[in-house]
Amino acid sequence: MEHAQTQQHPISVYFTVWGLLFVLSTLSYLVDYLHLHGYLRWSLILVFMLMKAGLIVAVFMHMRWERLALMYAILTPPLCLLVLITLMAIEGDYTFITRGLFFGQ
């Protein structure tokens, strides 16, 4: 067991990520506080969200030190959700337009 690698990394790595997560959270809060709107707001929210998610998975959950076999098995299946998101975005738009036609005006 001893040589099967354990996840032992310098504490400073965790502090750095901790700090970065605080900064990114503050930035995403500021997006709301400063009343940004439209595509700027949405893209900033998504960018900060993905950066935070990446830091948590890569460092706190030690994914960047795992072997590719585990990385691919865990990180690629969620991409299926992109298909669901696309389909539901089309569906959502369709429902909105249909509702506008029938209930609107």
Partner 1 sequence: MTQHAETNTAGALAPSSGLRGLVADWSSDVQAFQVPWGKAMMWIFLLSDTFIFGSFLTGYMTVRMSTTVPWPNPSEVFALTIGGTEIPLILIAIMTFILISSSGTMAMAVNFAYRRDRVKTTALMLATAAFGATFVGMQAFEWTKLIIEGVRPWGNPMGAAQFGSCFFMITGFHGLHVTVGVIYLSIVALRVLRGRYERTGNYHIVEIAGLYWHFVDLVWVFIFALFYLW
Give the interface with partner 1 as residue ranges (CB under 8 A).
Answer: 1, 3-4, 6-9, 11, 14-15, 17-18, 21-22, 25, 28-29, 31-33, 41-42, 45-46, 48-49, 52-53, 56-57, 59-62, 66-70, 72-74, 77-78, 81, 84-85, 88-89, 91-93, 95-96, 99-100, 103-104
Instruction: Reduce the DSSP state of residue 2 to 3 states and report it.
Output: coil
Q: Which residues contact 67 (CB under 8 A, 6 or more apart)?
A: none
In the complex, least distance from residue 23 CB atom to partner 1, rounded to whole angstroms? 11
